């Protein structure tokens, strides 16, 4: 009798989807920021702000999800799964914001082909995270979920390769040690975003398998 009067599921899947939308918005802004470096200072500033806006919106969604988790009697997934997934999604955008802030903090004034390539890989990763998130409430979509997660894993491996090659080239060719430090830090932050995407993909795949 008591359970009939308690909230039952809440809007968890809608909130996951909404968060994933902000991931894509943040990645697009980060890519535009990196492309504008050295050519358009106003665009760099505007895109850094756009990353922060996406991160702030995502934080609100995370807070709403956690609040809902504490007020919902019956959840559609295990409570730890919900908590870990929403926080994993949030970590991705936090790192994007760290990268955008670091561009300003280090007064980075030029981009590189490798930095732009890493941003392309970030965008590809989060677009697939968004696709995978949309599948977690579909018990018939386990195969599609696993395929998408495998694609994220491949993209992360490519990002790791790009970062290693980029850092190697820095140590071979860059004479300015301050510039070497700046770019190395940016490369590592950008690659870390794809690491977080891979971690979320593993969580999503586990959820799909456990609930199929």
Q: Is residue 43 part of a domain?
A: yes
If one counts the domains in the chain, the total is 1
pLDDT of 210: 81
Instruction: Report yes or no on 1 lying in a domain.
Output: no
Residue 20 lies in a domain: yes
Let me know how many helices (H) and strands (E) the chain has, helices first. Answer: 6, 0
Q: Quickly state the pLDDT bin for 10 (edges 50, 70, 90).
A: low
In angstroms, rounded to a whole number, what is the distance separating the alpha carbons of residues 41 and 28? 17
120-138 average pLDDT score: 95
d(CA 191, CA 159): 6
| pLDDT tier for residue 212 given thresholds of 50, 70 and 90 | low
- When pLDDT is averaged across residues 16-44 and rounded to a whole number, the result is 94
List, for residues 153-196, the tens digit of each pLDDT value: 999 999 999 999 999 999 999 889 999 999 999 999 999 999 99
Which burial class, exposed, middle or buried, applies to 110 when counting CB atoms under 10 A from its CB (0-12, 13-18, 19+)? exposed
Q: Is residue 56 part of a domain?
A: yes
Q: What is the CATH number of the domain that holds 56?
A: 1.20.58.220
User: Does residue 72 carry a pLDDT above 90?
Assistant: no
Higher pLDDT, 30 or 108: 30
pLDDT band at 139 (very low <50, low <70, confident <90, very high): confident
Q: How many residues does this entry show for the chain?
A: 212
Check pLDDT > 90 for residue 39.
Answer: no
| 81-119 pLDDT tens trace | 999 999 999 999 999 999 999 998 888 888 999 999 999
pLDDT at position 5 over 50: no
**Residue found by looking up tokens 């295990």 in the block:** 78
pLDDT at 1: 32
Q: For residue 56, what are the domain limits?
A: 7-210
In a domain, 184, yes or no: yes
Q: Are the beta carbons of 86 and 65 closer than 8 angstroms?
A: yes
* Distance (Å, whole) CA 28 – CA 144: 24
Residues 6+ apart with CB under 8 A from 43: 32, 33, 36
Q: Quick check: is 18 in a domain?
A: yes
Q: What is the pTM of this model?
A: 0.93
Q: What is the pLDDT of residue 4?
A: 41
Q: How far apart are CA 138 and CA 197, in angstroms?
A: 21
Question: Does residue 148 fall inside a structural domain?
Answer: yes
Residue 155 in contact with residue 125, Cβ under 8 Å? yes
2 falls within a domain: no
């Amino acid at each position: 009798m008591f359970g009939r009067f308690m909230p039952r599921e809440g809007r968890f899947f809608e909130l996951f989807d909404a968060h994933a939308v902000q991931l894509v918005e943040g990645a697009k802004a980060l890519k535009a920021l990196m492309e504008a470096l050295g050519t358009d200072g106003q665009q760099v500033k505007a895109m850094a702000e756009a990353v922060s806006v996406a991160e702030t919106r995502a934080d609100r969604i995370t807070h709403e999800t956690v609040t809902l988790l504490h007020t919902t009697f019956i959840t559609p997934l295990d409570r730890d799964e919900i908590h870990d997934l929403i926080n994993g999604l949030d970590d991705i955008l936090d790192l994007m914001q760290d990268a955008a802030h670091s561009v300003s903090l280090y007064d980075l004034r030029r981009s590189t082909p490798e930095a732009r390539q890493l941003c392309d890989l970030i965008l590809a990763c989060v677009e697939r995270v968004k696709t995978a998130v949309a599948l977690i409430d579909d018990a018939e979509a386990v195969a599609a979920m696993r395929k998408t997660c495998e694609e994220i894993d491949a993209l992360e491996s490519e990002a790791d390769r790009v970062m290693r090659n980029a850092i190697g080239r820095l140590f071979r060719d860059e004479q300015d040690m301050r510039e070497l430090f700046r770019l190395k830090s940016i490369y590592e932050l950008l690659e870390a975003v794809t690491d977080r995407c891979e971690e979320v993909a593993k969580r999503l795949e586990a959820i799909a398998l456990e609930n199929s």
